[in-house]
Amino acid sequence: MLYYLFDYLKQFDFPGARMFGYVSFRSLIAIILALLISTIFGEYFISLLKKKQITEVQRDASIDPFNVNKKGVPTMGGIIIIFATIIPCLLLGKLHNIYMILMIITTLWLGTLGFLDDYIKTFRKDKEGLHGKFKIIGQVGLGLIVGLTLYISPDVVIRENIEVKKGGEVVEIVHKAKDQKSTKTTIPFFKNNNLDYADIVGFMGEHAQAAGWVLFVFVTIFVVTAVSNGANLNDGMDGMCAGNSAIIGLTLGILAYVSSHIEYASYLNIMFIPGSEELVIFICAFIGALIGFLWYNAFPAQVFMGDTGSLTIGGIIAVFAIIIHKELLIPILCGIFLVENLSVILQVKYFQAGKKKGIKQRIFKRTPIHDHFRVTMAQLDPECSYMFTKPTNVYHESKITVRFWIITIVLAAITIITLKIR
């Protein structure tokens, strides 16, 4: 809204009005504003949650070898993140930009889904929360909305990067002169780093392009579901999910910024995406909101984000990566989320396989994988066999959290490096 106001005031030579035309200026204001909203609003919101007794009911000291009792800590703190992300975007963003619209829809859609889950857990005292099938329906629905919008909207275009070779060596990267609809995405480690979904279904001949878009929609649904669930599983220790997501968000912001500038896109040999600069505004607000939330969520947590926050965070990361055609970098960038997902899946499948044989068996001491590192040997089921019991000593959750942050920083660096390693 402020963007349109100052854009109007430019004709009157209003002091400072032209600054709102710069993405860098609006991005910095967005991150500061989001940080202030999350810290100031967060304090009042936490007090309200305590007053209304909207608190955590499942966690207690029995699962923590350091006897940190978390019962009674307010939950549904993800509302802080949502408000602190949306408000700066509404004030500073171009609200007619298709990418900004999609990100706002994503935030509100999954925020609502997560809120319903937390509401059922907290107010109806049902620890299972929203039934899994409804979560899946919500995630699939969002994937369909995003995928079909990117397919239908005439504003969603790219300029493909082309390698100019001389003597077998790449001497220059140029971009096509015209904008075009495309089913191409960036793939790491390959010389020709653009993968066209239409090529995967090339056997369909003249229908390959349409089939490519169908495949893209299915990929979108899968990525949204997988990343939002991964973020949900990662939210098991104070500051864990918020810190990891802020690092991931910063990386995606860098990729969006370079994708929106043809010179930087040429240097990295990636496609140029017109209009994606507005995504930088959104991601800066997102990062500011997460950092502000960490003010209260760092150990010992004064508030938990709940599914309201974790599902929203995962969805934002997934949709953002899809919009900038970097969804195939997700397994690297969101490696922590991937491992969390895999640890739970493998644990369940391995336990079920043993159950059929009449034996109790597990791979890890506890899943998601971050819990493996804080379980003592005394807490293990003596009737169950474990494939991995090391480390035998346990770590405090604050140490586990920081180490997971460090791993995510390394993965973020690798993600960017992959664009030059071919």
pLDDT tens for the 422 residues of the chain, in order = 787 887 778 778 788 778 888 899 999 999 999 999 999 999 999 999 888 888 765 555 556 666 666 777 898 999 999 999 999 999 999 999 999 999 999 999 999 999 999 999 888 877 778 888 888 899 999 999 999 999 999 999 999 887 776 666 665 778 888 889 988 998 887 767 788 899 999 888 888 888 999 999 999 999 999 999 999 999 989 999 999 999 999 999 999 999 999 988 888 888 999 999 999 999 999 999 999 999 999 998 999 999 999 999 999 999 999 999 999 999 999 999 999 999 999 999 999 999 999 999 999 999 999 999 988 888 899 999 999 999 888 899 999 999 999 999 999 999 988 877 66
Tens of pLDDT, residues 36-72: 999 999 999 999 988 888 876 555 555 666 666 677 7
How many domains does one find in the chain?
Answer: 1
**Gap between the Cα atoms of 221 and 217, Å rounded:** 6
Is there a domain that residue 244 lies in?
A: yes
Domain that holds residue 32: 25-159+197-343+399-417
Name the residue among 81, 337, 80 with its Cα closest to residue 232.
Answer: 337
Is there a domain that residue 411 lies in?
A: yes
**Gap between the Cα atoms of 303 and 295, Å rounded:** 10
> Residue 386: helix, strand or coil by DSSP?
strand
**Gap between the Cα atoms of 33 and 1, Å rounded:** 14
Torsional sign, CA 13, 17, 23, 25: positive
**Gap between the Cα atoms of 177 and 161, Å rounded:** 10
Is there a domain that residue 214 lies in?
A: yes
- Residue 331 pLDDT: 95
Residue matched to tokens 């209260």: 296
pTM of the model: 0.93
- Provide the token pair at 344: 């739970």
Is there a domain that residue 375 lies in?
A: no
**Gap between the Cα atoms of 69 and 370, Å rounded:** 18
Is there a domain that residue 378 lies in?
A: no
Is there a domain that residue 98 lies in?
A: yes
**Gap between the Cα atoms of 199 and 212, Å rounded:** 7
Is there a domain that residue 129 lies in?
A: yes
